[in-house]
Amino acid sequence: MRRDARALLHDILQAADDIAAFTDMSLDAYLANKPFRLAVERQFTVMGEALNALSRFDPALAERIPEMSRLIGFRNVLIHRYETINQSTVYDHARNSLPAFRAKIATLLAKLDRA
């Protein structure tokens, strides 16, 4: 089934919200909670997949997401180089980089909804 840009952006927002919920704790608590770490990795993977699909489906829209290639690359590391994952770095991205990225995606989605 072919997805549209709105659905892909919505998937990204949902994944970002899930990551925020799973990392609403201290780093030590996060590191001690393997199910939450796995859930966060999964949601970053979902984001990377949705961004990759968006780049094929609507390249012009995808170009408006400067972090796109980094997040797709991060997805690739999670999938193909899992043994190199630094959980503190994942947590740091989730807590410090993701909120601004989520806001950009929400703005893009709102613009699409108004169009």
- Catalytic residue ranges: 75, 80
**Residue for token digits 């489906």?**
57
> Is 26 in a helix, a strand, or coil?
coil
**Size of the chain, expressed as the number of residues it contains:** 115
- For tokens 């829209």, name the residue: 61
Question: How far apart (Å, rounded) are the C-alpha atoms in residues 46 and 11?
Answer: 8
User: What Å distances lie between residue 38 and 45, 82, 97, 111, CA to CA?
Assistant: 11, 11, 19, 32
